Amino acid sequence: MNNAIYRIILVQISVTIVIALLIWILQGKLAAISAFIGGAIGFLTGLIYAKKMFAPKGSDAKKIIRAHYSAEAFKLVFTILLFSLVFTQFKDVRALPLFIGYVATLIVYWAALIFV
């Protein structure tokens, strides 16, 4: 993987921490944990996508497209599994902070596409 991908993921992690700290101040510990978990789902699935997509496969266009589809499908399944795990195992989860943390990582990713 190249350095731009690592920088994007580091920014996602940083934004997750900042949001979790802000939510802790505003809504308390449980909401902050929920926000951090949401952000973690975002940056972990992004990392999984990047690892799968950028594994050495050559420069053939068909292989690159296949790798993208495969990585995106794997990311989607992993995202669903992580959210399912959170909602079934973390009974006190706060949904709004969870999704705020998750969406924040998506915003970082989409903004990074513009600037990277």
pLDDT for 64 equals: 82
pLDDT for 39 equals: 98
User: φ, ψ for residue 105 (rounded to 5)?
Assistant: -70, -35
- Alpha helices by DSSP H, the chain: 3-27, 29-53, 61-89, 95-115
pLDDT for 107 equals: 95
Are 19 and 37 within 8 A, CB to CB? no
pLDDT for 116 equals: 67
pLDDT for 74 equals: 93
Question: Which of 69, 95, 94, 79 has the alpha carbon at shortest distance from 47?
Answer: 79
pTM assigned to the model:
0.88
Give the pLDDT means over successive 10-residue stretches in the chain (116 positions): 82 96 97 98 93 76 86 94 97 96 94 81
Domain boundaries along the sequence of the chain = 3-115
pLDDT for 114 equals: 83
